[in-house]
């Protein structure tokens, strides 16, 4: 396998703790989300809504479901890609395009990381919370997004290094 088809850490047990933890957190969040929605639907059908702040809880859990596994998806190189033109390019061209993609991803997620870092610090310092019965603080979801973006950037940096060296180095 060449450097573009082998993600380096794609073999079992070779993913980082952050990547495995993100997938586990996403799975638990998905189960919790399903339980909240099911309980809420049943309680609304029989009585009134029993789950307070159900929409806020579901929105915070959705953040975990979406961002939790994204570093692992990046490690496995399983993002959606369009290969109409890249299939016609040679191995060196594909490697160059992959490196440019990694750099673009690092820049994009770096911007998001900086924004979420600033947002997380602000909500932590001011103690902001969502309006509702449970008074859910805003910073935990923002901190999770910050950690997810940091994990993506680290993974993209490792993939960039792997592609630049032709697959000789693996994190």
Q: Is residue 121 part of a domain?
A: yes
Residue 160 lies in a domain: yes
* Mean per-residue pLDDT, 16-39: 87
Residue 159 within any structural domain of the chain: yes
Give the residues across from 129 on adjacent strands: 137
Query: What are the C-alpha distances in Å from 116 to residues 21, 56, 81, 145, 151?
Result: 20, 19, 26, 7, 14
Task: Note down the domain range covering 112.
Answer: 17-78+93-164
Residue 89 confidence (pLDDT)? 81
Check residues 21 and 48 and name the one with the higher pLDDT.
21
Q: Give the closest residue to 156 by CA, choosing from 96, 99, 78, 118.
A: 99
Residue 9 lies in a domain: no
Is residue 85 one of the residues assigned to a domain?
Answer: no
In angstroms, the CA 90 to CA 18 distance is 34
Nearest by Cα to 1 from 152, 73, 82, 10: 10
pTM assigned to the model: 0.75
Residue 2 lies in a domain: no
Please give the residue that has the higher pLDDT: either 50 or 125.
125
DSSP letter string, 100-123: HHHHHHHHHHHHHHHHHHHHHHHH
Instruction: Give the three-class secondary structure for 137.
Output: strand
Q: Flag whether 63 is in a domain.
A: yes
Does position 162 have pLDDT exceeding 80, yes or no?
yes
Q: How many domains does the chain have?
A: 1
pLDDT of residue 166: 74
Q: What is the mean pLDDT of the chain?
A: 81
| HSE, side-chain direction, 13 A CA sphere, residue 88 | 3
Q: For the segment 58-100, what is each residue's pLDDT rounded down to a tens digit?
A: 888 898 899 888 878 887 777 777 777 777 888 788 888 888 9
In a domain, 28, yes or no: yes
Average pLDDT over residues 109-132: 91
Q: What is the pLDDT of residue 113?
A: 96
């Amino acid at each position: 396998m060449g450097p573009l088809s082998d993600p380096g850490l794609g073999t079992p047990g070779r993913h980082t703790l952050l990547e495995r933890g993100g997938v586990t957190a996403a799975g638990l969040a998905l189960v919790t989300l399903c339980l909240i929605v099911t309980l809420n639907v049943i309680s609304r059908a029989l009585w009134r809504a029993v789950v307070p702040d159900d929409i806020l809880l579901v929105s915070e859990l959705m953040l975990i479901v979406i961002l939790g596994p994204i570093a692992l998806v990046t490690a496995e190189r399983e993002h959606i890609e369009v290969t109409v033109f890249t299939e016609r390019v040679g191995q060196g061209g594909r490697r160059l395009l992959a490196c440019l993609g990694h750099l673009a991803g690092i820049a994009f997620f770096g911007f998001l990381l900086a924004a979420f870092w600033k947002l997380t610090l602000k909500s932590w310092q001011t103690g902001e919370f969502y309006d509702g019965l449970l008074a859910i603080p805003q910073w935990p979801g923002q901190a999770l997004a910050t950690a997810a973006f940091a994990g993506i950037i680290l993974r993209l940096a490792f993939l960039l290094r792997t592609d630049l060296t032709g697959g000789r180095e693996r994190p």
